[in-house]
Amino acid sequence: MSAAGLVVAFHVPQGRAAPAPAPAPAPAAPPLPPPNAFLRIGTDDSVTVMIAHSEMGQGIWTGLAMLIAEELECDWSKVRSEHAPAAPVYKHTAFPVQMTGGSTTTWSEFERYRTVGATAKDMLVRAAAARWKVKPETCKVANGVVSHGKDQLSFGKLAEAAMALPPPKTVKLKDPKDWKLIGTPVRRLDTPEKITGKAQFGIDVQFPGLRVAVVARPPAFGAKLAKFDASAALKVPGVEKVVPTANGVAVVAKHFWAAKLGRDALHIDWTPPAGGGVDTTKLMAEFRATAKKPGTIVTKKGEIDAGLAGAKTKLTAEYEVPYLAHAPMEPLNCTVKIDGDRCEIWTGTQFQTGDQMAAAMILGIPPEKAVEKVTIHTMFLGGGFGRRGNPAADFVSEAVIVAKAAGVPVKVVWTREDDMHGGYYRPAYVHRIQTGLDEHGRPTAWDHVVVGQSIIAGTPFEPMMMQHGTDPTSVEGLAESPYLEGTGALRVSLHSPKTAIPVLWWRSVGNTHTAFAMESMIDEVAHAANQDPLAYRLALLKDKPRHAAALSLAADKAGWSTPPAAGRARGLAVHESFGSIVAQVAEVSIENGQIRVHSVTCAVDCGIAVNPLGIEAQIQGAVVFGLSAVLHGKLTLTGGAVNESNFHDYPVLRMYEMPRVAVHIIQSKARMGGIGEPATAPIAPAVANAVFALTKQRLRTLPLRLA
């Protein structure tokens, strides 16, 4: 069918708090893709939605299907989803690549997916009307059936004829007051397969002839392969080949266990990193020293030195966060089958376009043929959190190299240790803040230095994302903080040291540390001014009604104005990221010298809420993810090697530590923001502020440790 003449308004959102990465300039309205790229209606009335983004637990498998179903007026019980292929029609509507991240999927597809549904409905109605020889406007549609008087035809009976019709020139989307699905709590479509063991993750891929490979990678960043002896490995039953990779050695075997035993039997000499390799104790000391001087200016207002000198009260504090692993439950893996000049890849990835281009380059396929020759089967992701969206396409590139060298289809499987040692961490950061307060305790001067590696530098995203030589993801949530709008003397500056440690975005990216620094420092200032932390913030947020409303709601629901039980205290924080505002109140106690978080009360303003059941799940999940970093997470390196290796020495939150998490969704008319990440950012300061209220210990380093 022809897309010619299909003219539907195509909005690229402008002016939001920058998600990562920043959107490309809005193109001229392109024609919308034909509905049959996004949905398929079977003769059995089933509606299969092609999901153009990667399902990693965040719930878009269901949310995007809801958008189509709302406008299509199909029978929701007949809807199912599939991951779309890697193809240009599925590119992100705001960025020129097919990818999933930045909490952007739902808002970026809100228009496109609803339009697809409305377009298909229009064509189904016209097909029915043609058959009955009546006017389309006299037909009704409900629950997957088109009717006219007593005549009825189900979508399944109309689909073939409908999809052969020319598409409409315009479609009208429903008025929100007519929504039946959007805004209601809808249970997930992927539950049946995920509770029966049927769901297929990348690591589950199997087909005749497929081999499994386990790779020996450098034990330290900067170490190099000197030589290896595979003779013992090749004697392990089930091992078939040993092949070099770009920087290591792969053992290819019949199945995982043989490959792993084969790798254990390799004798490898590694040249240690030049200069001895990164030592995080030394590195953090260097970061702290660097933080004593301003870096490249990110934002500047007034005269900072004079502002600080003239302030009534001055406070100085340093905040610090370590390197963190993503540690998704499914360790990294990738399956590759090369067939002549074509390549098929099966994996859970957040970045199909990058993977396609990387595979093409390795195989000598011209870039313009990458889409045609490199097929990506996106599987369910057993957690992504950013690790599976790597511009460097590390785990995919490696698997392509192994398959090419081995000459057989190969599934590369990473052990947990491999995954934890494999790099691409949330970088460590040091913040040094000097603030000057007036007689009311308001910050009139704020000097904020950030030190930490750039995630963007050296990646294909660098040209389009760097802003005046600084990485916006290192300072997001800080430079534009609402608390600093009234501050007359302001300087935010950044040092982006380079190290051998590969780094990457981690759920909520820069906000993982900027929220901790900002909301802790504001809390310090409130206490220094002898003011209630809630009242103090609300005074600074008097021109920020959405922030104030979220904070007030969370505080109210948490019972802020009544004292907690003996031995408990509360702390709060509010932070905007990825277009949404989340306020949290954490209630804590100390048990056996350990911080115990009893409850987290959350208020979220994310604009239009598509699926409140999904939103609640994301907020709860993001709190847990953040709490792991608050209480436990820390990677350390010695001689360039990561010391931690599995969940026994890199602990994460478990059931017995789970607080009650109450989620209150604000009915907001604001433009839709994201929901996958925003609730991870404020939990660290909410808990740290509660700990201060309880113990008077101001903890400025994550993970939190009581003196």
Partner 1 sequence: MKLDINGTVRDVDATPEMPLLWVLRDILGFTGTKFGCGMAQCGACTVHLDGQPVRSCITPVSTVGARKVRTIEGLSTDGSHPVQRAWAETDVVQCGYCQSGQIMTTVALLAQKPDPSDADIDAALSGNICRCGTYARIREAVHLAAKLSRGGAK
Binding site for partner 1 (CB under 8 A): 55-59, 187-188, 190-201, 203-204, 206, 212, 237, 254-257, 327-331, 380-385, 413, 415-417, 613, 617, 620-625, 646-648, 652-656, 658, 660-661
Q: Identify the H or E element spanning 50.
A: strand 47-51
* Residue 354, both tokens: 């990058």
CB-count burial class (<10 Å; 0-12, 13-18, 19+) for 143: middle
Please answer whether residues 117 and 70 qualify as being in contact, where contact means their C-beta atoms are separated by less than 8 angstroms: yes
User: 4 or 329: whose CB is closer to partner 1?
Assistant: 329
Q: Which phi and psi (to 5°) does residue 275 adopt? A: 80, 5
Between 331 and 422, whose beta carbon lies closer to partner 1? 331
| Complex with partner 1: residue 204 or 303, whichever CB lies closer | 204
CB of 207 to partner 1, least distance (A): 11
CB 581, min distance to partner 1, A: 20
Pairing of strands 79-83, 47-51: parallel
Which among 271, 262, 264 has a CA at the least distance from the CA of 220?
271
In the complex, minimum distance from the CB of residue 651 to partner 1, in angstroms, rounded to a whole number: 9
Closer residue to partner 1, CB minimum distance, 56 or 146: 56
- Report, in Å, the least distance between residue 260 CB and partner 1: 8
| Nearest to partner 1 of 238, 244 (CB atom) | 238
- Smallest separation (angstroms) from partner 1 to the CB of 553: 20
Q: Which two tokens stand for residue 655?
A: 């059931």
Q: Could you give the 3-state DSSP secondary structure of residue 45?
A: coil
Q: What is the 3-state secondary structure (H, E, C) of 398-419?
A: HHHHHHHHHCCCEEEECCHHHH
* Cis upstream peptide for 409 (omega within 30°): no
Closer by beta carbon to partner 1, 269 or else 417: 417
Q: Considering the complex, what minimum distance in angstroms separates the CB of residue 676 from partner 1?
A: 10
CB of 602 vs partner 1, minimal distance in Å: 12
**How many CB atoms are located within 10 Å of the residue 238 CB?**
16
The Cα angle at residue 468 between residues 465 and 472, in degrees rounded to 5: 45
Task: Tell me how far apart the alpha carbons of residues 231 and 249 are, in angstroms, rounded to a whole number.
Answer: 13
Pick 222 or 382: Cβ nearer partner 1: 382
Nearer Cβ to partner 1, position 138 or 207?
Answer: 207
The one-letter amino acid code at 557 reads: K
Q: Which of 336, 355, 345 is nearest to 406 (CA)?
A: 336
Please report how close the Cβ of residue 99 comes to partner 1 at its closest, in angstroms: 18
- Of 457 and 662, CB closest to partner 1: 662
Closest contact distance (angstroms) between CB of 648 and partner 1 is 5
Q: Could you tell me the smallest distance in angstroms from the CB atom of residue 668 to partner 1?
A: 23
Q: What is the DSSP string of 660-682?
A: EEEEEE----SPP---SSTTTTT
Measured from the CB atom, is 112 or 337 closer to partner 1?
337
Contacts with 427 (C-beta within 8 Å, 6 or more apart), sequence order: 323, 452, 453, 455, 501, 503
DSSP 302-345: S-HHHHHHT-SEEEEEEEEE-BB----SS--EEEEEEETTEEEE
Cβ contact 567:580 at 8 Å: no
